[in-house]
Structures are given as C-alpha cells and as structure tokens.
Amino acid sequence: MLDRIRRREPAAQSAPDAEHYLNGNTHLIELHNVVKTYKTPAGDFVALKGIDLRVDTHEFVAVVGKSGSGKSTLINMITGIDRPTSGQVFVGDTAVHKLSEGQMAVWRGKHLGVIFQFFQLLPTLTILENVMLPMDFCNTFPMRERRDRAVSLLEQVDLTPEMNKLPSEVSGGQQQRAAIARALANDPPILVADEPTGNLDSRTAEAVFALFTKLVQNGKTILMVTHDKELATRTTRAVIVADGEIVDDRR
C-alpha cells in the first residue's frame, strides 16, 4: 500500500512506554514556558506566551478559545506538527521539542492519534486502506493482523459497510469517523483532535463526542480543540486560551 502513495518510511526510533518518564516529568503531557513566535511582514507575532500545562492519563481535556487565540498552535506543540520557539514539551518520556523530523514522524505515528477538522484522508485509498496505513507506516502490528484490526476499528465507528469506498464516496460525518478509526490504528495512549465536530451536523457531532467519551472511559487521554463552550463543559476539564495565554483551567 505504501508503494501506491510513494512514501518512504523514516528510520525507526525506539521509544520507551509512556508510563516510564525519564525526563523528570511526572505527568503524561507537560509544557514548560512554551513560546511560539512567527515571523510576518508586519513583524514578529507571538502566538503562545509562556504556556505551562500539565495533562494526566485518562483526562478528557477541551482546549477552548476564539479563532486566533492560539489553541491550535498549542495543540501543534504537543503533536510536534509545529515546534516551540523556546520552552520544553514532554509527552511521556519523550522530549518532543528535541526530535528530528524523521524521529518525529515515527514517534507521532506510534504514540499519538491525530484527528483533523478536515479529515485528511488520502483520496486514492479506500476507507479500509486509510485505517491500515498507520500500521503499515510504523510497522506496529504483524502484517497478517492489520486488515482484521482495521475492520474491527471500523466496526467500532459503524463504518464496515463503507470500508471499500473512497473518501469522496461517503459523507463528511463518515469521513470523520474513518479518521477516528485511523487515529486509533496503532493503539496510541493519546488522541488529539482539532475541531473534530466543526464541520459536522449536530447529530453526527453528538455521535463523535459520545465516541470520545467512551474512549476516555476505556483508558485513552484526549485533548480536543474546540470553540464550542457548551461542548467543553461536558469534558472532564476545560483549558481556556486567549491571546496566546491560558486564562482559565476548569476541572
């Protein structure tokens, strides 16, 4: 399958289990004085201003803020999609801010499930193949088990009837559920979702939120970026971001 999209796997990086923290951190996720500055034609723009954050296992955390508040940038520090200008980011025993690009890709694939607002499914692969892809990329399960595992995950999100269709042949809600199944493919301890219900109708959004709640009950840790304050009240914790700072942290 990887040959079909002409993607080369980076060199693997060994990483201890997230339960054994070797950098002095005592929480699953820790951010220490994280600053992110972007260069713009109008001058430097400081998106994050000395963020400190701690997240423990089995928490369901909503990161809430208006557009431009810095909430997505904050999440991107944790996933390694973006890097801090200064400060430190630890996830489990991994100093995320120190990883190379090659190390980052492999580490993220094994330890984080990332769910995007616009799904980011590969259009030339079927729903089933999209869910199998992280296992192929990270070589996390024996090849003979990958299809069965992908089918099982699609069963959890009620998508087995659509598994042989291309993403363009299913609805937006079905694409989001496929993206959740894909994020679970390597059984990561942490799921990070950036406005996962932002493009869904209310009924489908409710189904996605219910699935997240069930995943937390089954041991996952979830960080969900949202601008929906009502939705945030239904999580176990809401971190409020404004102008690049955490202005409230409600449990």
pLDDT digits (tens, 9 = 90+) for 58-70: 999 999 998 889 9
Could you tell me how far CA 206 lies from the centroid of its own chain? 19
Domain boundaries of the chain, sorted by first residue:
2-7+57-77+101-250
pLDDT score of 3 = 46
Non-local CB neighbours of 221 within 8 Å, separated by 6+ positions: 28, 29, 55, 56, 57, 58, 59, 60, 61, 189, 190, 191
pLDDT score of 193 = 92
**Mean pLDDT across the chain, nearest whole number?**
87
pLDDT digits (tens, 9 = 90+) for 135-188: 998 888 999 999 999 999 999 888 999 999 999 999 988 998 899 999 999 999
Non-local CB neighbours of 14 within 8 Å, separated by 6+ positions: none
What gap in Å lies between CA 68 and CA 182, rounded to an integer?
28
Report the CATH architecture of 2-7+57-77+101-250. Answer: 3-Layer(aba) Sandwich (3.40)
Structure confidence at residue 18 as a pLDDT band (50, 70, 90): very low
Structure confidence at residue 46 as a pLDDT band (50, 70, 90): very high
pLDDT score of 15 = 39
Do residues 94 and 111 make contact, with C-beta atoms less than 8 angstroms apart? yes
**Model-level pTM?**
0.82
Mean pLDDT (whole number) for 28-54: 95
C-beta atoms surrounding 88 within 10 Å: 17
